Structure 1
Amino acid sequence: MTVSAVYRFRKATLADLALLKAWRAKPHVREWWGEDESDVDVDFDDPRVLRYIVSTGGQPFAFIQDYTVHGWSDHHFANLPEGSRGIDQYIGEPEMVGRGHGTAFIRQRVQKLIADGAPVVATDPHPRNERAIAVYKKLGFVPIGPAFDTKWGLILPMVVKRCPA
């Protein structure tokens, strides 16, 4: 069931490290993000990646990041138009999963990225992550090729140019 909610995106900082590590340790997150937390211990000031803690009702419950797909010469989305952004996210609080929050806050962020000029927004779920793929399809994302291995793991490349309201 979808919950009507207002979402706030606050830039993640080093002060959020314990929260991010706690979320990453939860089985429903670890299933798709793995047990390696090396990507949690990152440079929060890296200009290529914008990281946010997502809250509703004053309570943080999710993480989302967006990044320039041209920030790495060997990135699998480097062939997309200049200005394109990639996204990754997860809901950290298990009781918030399956209630429509993912679709809603991803929609809000993708609409902002497109309004700010991104010609394409890309994402790369694991091809067996049916829940994530269903959410992305609801938001207008379409696969742009078959699943393939990257240095970040097995992915299904998907893109959207316009996100429905």
Structure 2
Amino acid sequence: MPASPYDFRAVTENDLPMIGAWIAAPHAAAWWGDPEREIAEIREHIDSVSVEPLIVELDGKPIAYLQAYDPHLEDDHPYQDQPFGTIGLDLTIGEPTLVGVGHGSALLRQFVAQLFAEGTPRVIIDPDPTNARAIRAYEKAGFRAFELRSSVYGPALMMAIDAGDAA
């Protein structure tokens, strides 16, 4: 496998129907809210300073939705206790046939390496504590659980990887 098999590009308005179908699919729907509301929020993020919505592509084909956010740029974000410069991530593999075969952990390793190369000190991710598949993928990508939280977003298993931890 090439060193950087995944491409990350900005979400456009044209991507929103595809993302909506992904988050409404059975493998993802349990971890997302109402698809119409979620798509409205992603639409707002397209021009946001604090959230960067991305499409992950493999061989030119969209396979996942990834958003990177800076909790220090959002008023009252519940993760502002993290070190300054921390970037938070949310990930959904869109294509059901690509779930559970290693893409989540592989694309996260690649993206996190890029963030560390840019000087990010810490990357966090916050899966629902009952989402065992996501937690396993994040652990394979190098994230380690550090706290169980309940916030406006619901229950979250806080997981992090620090620049010094990267291999």
TM-score, with structure 2 as normaliser? 0.89
User: C-alpha distance in 2, partners of 1:49/1:103?
Assistant: 21
Q: Which residue of 1 aligns with 2:161?
A: 160
Q: Which residue of 2 aligns with 1:75?
A: 77
Is 1:8–2:7 an aligned residue pair?
A: yes
Q: Secondary structure at the match of 2:31?
A: helix
Q: Choose from 115, 118, 124 the match for 1:116.
A: 118
Q: Is the 8 A contact 2:20 2:39 kept in 1?
A: yes
User: C-alpha distance in 1, partners of 2:166/2:102?
Assistant: 15
User: C-alpha distance in 1, partners of 2:35/2:53?
Assistant: 18
Q: Secondary structure at the match of 1:144?
A: strand
Q: Secondary structure at the match of 2:39?
A: coil
CA RMSD of the aligned region, Å?
1.5
CA 144–76 in structure 1, closer or farther in 2 if over 3 Å, else same = farther
Shift of 1:35: 3.1
Shift of 1:164: 4.4
User: C-alpha distance in 1, partners of 2:19/2:103?
Assistant: 18
Q: Which runs of 5+ in 2 are unaligned?
A: none
Q: Secondary structure at the match of 1:40?
A: helix
Shift of 1:124: 0.5
CA 37–110 in structure 1, closer or farther in 2 if over 3 Å, else same = farther
Q: Is the 8 A contact 2:106 2:141 kept in 1?
A: no
Shift of 1:37: 3.5
Is 1:38–2:50 an aligned residue pair?
A: no
Q: Which residue of 2 aligns with 1:95?
A: 97
Q: Secondary structure at the match of 2:150?
A: strand
Q: Secondary structure at the match of 2:116?
A: helix
User: C-alpha distance in 1, partners of 2:58/2:133?
Assistant: 21
Give the partner amino acid of 1:93: E
TM-score, with structure 1 as normaliser? 0.90
Structure 1 outlier segments of 4+, above 4 Å:
none
Q: Which residue of 2 aligns with 1:51?
A: 53
Greater helix fraction, Structure 1 or Structure 2: 2
User: C-alpha distance in 1, partners of 2:16/2:85?
Assistant: 29
Q: Which residue of 2 aligns with 1:17?
A: 16
Q: Is the 8 A contact 1:139 1:164 kept in 2?
A: no
Aligned residues: 161
Q: Name the % identity.
A: 40
User: C-alpha distance in 1, partners of 2:134/2:100?
Assistant: 11
Q: Which residue of 1 aligns with 2:149?
A: 148
Q: Which runs of 5+ in 1 are unaligned?
A: none
Q: Secondary structure at the match of 2:38?
A: coil
